[in-house]
Amino acid sequence: MKLISSSFKALLLLYLIFNILSCGSKITANKNDHFKIEKKKQNILFIAIDDLRPMLNSYGNSQIITPNLDKLAAEGVQFNNAYCNVAVCGASRATIMTGIRPSATRFVSYYTRADKEVPEAVSLHGIFKKNGYKTISYGKIFHNAKDFKNDWSEIDDTHTQFDYQSKEALKLIKNKPDRKRGPAFEYTEVSDETYSDGKTTNKAIQKLKELKKTEEPFFLAVGYVSPHLPFIQPTKYGELYKDKDLVMADNPFKPKNAPKQAVHNSSELRNMYMGIPKEGLLPTKLSKDLVRGYYASVSYTDVLVGKLIKQLDDLGLRDNTTIILWGDHGFFLGEHGMWTKHSTLNEAIHVPLIVSSPGMKKNVKTTAMTEYIDIYPSLCEIAGIEIPKYLTGTSFVPVLKDPNLEVKSEIYTRYRKGEAVVDHNYSYTEFVNKKGEPTNAFMLFDIKNDKKQNVDISKQPRNAKTVEKYREKLKAMRKQVNKNPIENIVK
């Protein structure tokens, strides 16, 4: 009896251990019938938001209502000094999804195709797929949905930025005398699910339910087109904002002393959307309407992201899922007289980046300098995947563990003929010629004392040594970027 009782106790103990371990791991038998514990792979929820600047409450800006994005920031690490490497959609996403820096001839425009420009590269989702992940893309991740398409296990690219719903807008588009896309903003009495982003959210929520039933690790990418122009959303989001709630730019002028290349004519807005003057400052009412439209689009996106993350929580997947949320670049709202992006000035390159990851710090903000080529190696490290040797980004996982750490001292960004280096003290931009050589057009901003970059101090004699210091930094970076052309990338 004692022998039977002891055996029963041993079996019971083994059963309990099995159940406890199976909550976070799998137990398999090897060829010697010994038990082996395999830790579950970390899931990735990869949330992309188009044209989102860090204008959230969690970033210290109270004008836009963003409770869900603020909640996510409280559940993870918020990067206050995150920057894109190129301030245009297609090129920025190509940089993120390949971990490769843009150059004067690589990742230049919105229609960039990474798989055509760097076919030897292993895409971010591709390396996860190679490591046993189910890779899924819903909405806008690349600008062109065919980009590295075969590296997705599943892709649904039926989203659209121009999903007008109002009768007025549809009538204008039907009868428009030119090739413009339509009005720059609209509000309609429809549900959240009517617009493209609402449909994308529902698809992603349904996919999470399916993934819950399997043991496959997943890399689920969900891309929102809002708040990209046109600013279109249900009426209730526009009603959140009265004129008194709108904060208008107090510096609608070119930075003092800056070269002419410092500003652009906001051609994306002026040339593509109806009712926008071809030149000059926009009328006050129109400016307010555009700012309201941007605010409303951000709030709409905030609600959709909240629904998505709530589903992740409700399914019990959060404890084994890293959420990373990023905006592909910033957006001017009248600062320096500009709208949209396409610049190396702060409003175009400063971006929101929030990471909520199991075992990492929560409800903290870091001032560590971070750039988008750092996302690829960071997610690889989180997932325990070997990082490709050709990547030049730096994993920010140490910062997730200790937000007081600095893993790099500066970031590099560019747009067309402008190349810039930014650190905690200065932002320096050089404008290059067609051969990629620096010209005598450059600008320097003391971002500690001139956060809005209103005065270019590069021509002041006392700053000559500072200009030369940052010029050398750009020269070295230019050499590094061009040293390894596409054909020499080593997998």
Active site residues: 89, 143
Peptide bond connecting 230 to the previous residue in cis, omega within 30 degrees of 0: yes
Return d(Cα 407, Cα 384) in angstroms, integer: 19
Q: How far is CA 78 from CA 182, 378, 451, in A?
A: 36, 15, 20
> What φ, ψ does residue 273 adopt, rounded to 5°?
-125, 150
DSSP string of 35-71?
Answer: EEEEEPPPEEEEEEETT--S-SGGGT--SS--HHHHH
Q: Residue 481 contacts by C-beta under 8 Å, 6 or more apart in sequence?
A: 101, 102, 103
In 320-452, alpha helices (H) = 346-349, 375-383, 397-401
Q: Position of tokens 């609209």?
A: 186
3-state secondary structure of 391: coil
- In contact, 67 and 73? CB cutoff 8 Å: no
Residue 307's CB is within 10 A of a number of other CB atoms, namely 16
| Calpha distance 433→285 (Å, rounded) | 39
Beta bridge partner(s), residue 139: 223
370: exposed, middle or buried (C-beta count within 10 Å: 0-12, 13-18, 19+)? buried
Instruction: Tell me how far apart the alpha carbons of residues 331 and 350 are, in angstroms, rounded to a whole number.
Output: 9
- Cβ neighbour number for residue 448 with a 10 Å cutoff: 9
Residue type, 350: H
Angle between helices 284-314 and 196-212 (to 10 degrees): 10
CA pseudo-torsion sign 117, 119, 120, 126: positive
Nearest to 81 by CA among 451, 417, 445: 451
- For residues 22 and 35, is the Cβ–Cβ distance under 8 A? no
Q: What is the CA radius of gyration of the chain?
A: 24
Residue 426 backbone phi and psi in degrees, to 5: -135, 160
Q: Which residues contact 397 (CB under 8 A, 6 or more apart)?
A: 360, 378, 381, 382
